[in-house]
Amino acid sequence: EPEVTQTPSHQVTQMGQEVILRCVPISNHLYFYWYRQILGQKVEFLVSFYNNEISEKSEIFDDQFSVERPDGSNFTLKIRSTKLEDSAMYFCASSGGGPAAFFGQGTRLTVV
């Protein structure tokens, strides 16, 4: 069964450092998303991406965040200068169109 894969599963970084979280969406999907879940809180939408551009972003997704689809298979989330409050589980998701998105297993980001 096709699935969304994310790497790494756990990333520890120092405050102020840049991190790149990587995702391989399901191959025939066209819509890509990043969500995050801070410990004990809800899963929150960050950004959606279609046709090589951002289609929607939340107010969490400020200038420190960027997304890219560098080739035909990868989808990345970059945080330029990490803060302690960026510590969370980051989920990549994809869909072929329609509201049901399929999620990866997540990357746990810990900023120290």
- Judged by the rule CB under 8 A, the positions of this chain that interact with other proteins are 4, 6, 30-31, 33, 35, 41-45, 48-50, 55-56, 58, 91, 93, 95, 97-106
Task: Provide the CB-side half-sphere exposure for 7 (13 A, CA).
Answer: 2
> What distance in Å separates the CA atoms of residue 52 and residue 69, rounded to the nearest whole number?
7
Which residue's CB is nearer to other proteins, number 16 or number 96? 96
In whole angstroms, what is the distance from residue 28 CA to residue 39 CA?
32
User: Which residue's CB is nearer to other proteins, number 13 or number 43?
Assistant: 43
**Smallest gap from residue 37 Cβ to other proteins (A):** 9
Task: Report the residue number, 79 or 91, with the smaller CB distance to other proteins.
Answer: 91
HSE (CB half, 13 Å, CA atoms) of 8? 9
Pick the closer one to other proteins by CB: 19 or 61.
61
Other residues' Cβ atoms within 10 Å of the Cβ of residue 68: 13
**Least Å from the CB of residue 18 to other proteins:** 24
Give min distance, CB of 10 to other proteins, in A. 10
Q: How far is the CB of 8 from other proteins (least distance, A)?
A: 14
DSSP strand E in 5-64: where? 5-7, 10-13, 19-24, 31-37, 43-50, 53-57
